[in-house]
């Protein structure tokens, strides 16, 4: 019963370094999402992938890129990390049939110094 698996769970980067956060789901869901969670702001959508082969920007996409590698995997890349990207990152997946909720991974705590 893995559900949504994110790696790594914690990471510390220096400003300007690059990093890829990995996400995989085993529920055969079509849609996958990346969120960031900041104190007092709830979760905000960075990018999503409605289906394999498609990706779209969410509310806060600047400074990030994504790749939907296959149906199972959806990665988030920070090309040149900035302190403002210090956050907890969540990956989620869902079916497109309504009103299916999103299933979340356990999050990645990312600190950029």
By the criterion CB under 8 A, which residues form the site for another protein? 31, 33, 40-45, 48, 50, 56, 58-59, 88, 90, 92, 96, 98-99, 101-104, 106-107
CA angle at residue 8 from 113 to 29, to 5 degrees?
130
Least separation in angstroms between residue 43's CB and another protein is 4
51 half-sphere exposure, CB direction, 13 A CA radius = 2
What is the three-class DSSP state of 19? Answer: strand
Would you say 17 or 55 has its CB closer to another protein?
A: 55
Write down the least CB distance from residue 80 to another protein, Å: 26
């Amino acid at each position: 019963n893995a559900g949504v698996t994110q790696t790594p769970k914690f990471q510390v980067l220096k400003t300007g370094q690059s990093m890829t956060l990995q996400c995989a789901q085993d529920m055969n869901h079509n849609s996958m999402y990346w969120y960031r969670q900041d104190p007092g702001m709830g979760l905000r959508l960075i990018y999503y992938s409605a289906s394999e082969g498609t990706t779209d920007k969410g509310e806060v996409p600047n400074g990030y890129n994504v790749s939907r590698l296959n149906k199972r995997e959806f990665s988030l890349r920070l090309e040149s990390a900035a302190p403002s990207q210090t956050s907890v990152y969540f990956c989620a997946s869902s079916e497109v049939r309504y009103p299916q909720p999103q299933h979340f991974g356990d999050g990645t705590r990312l600190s950029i110094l």
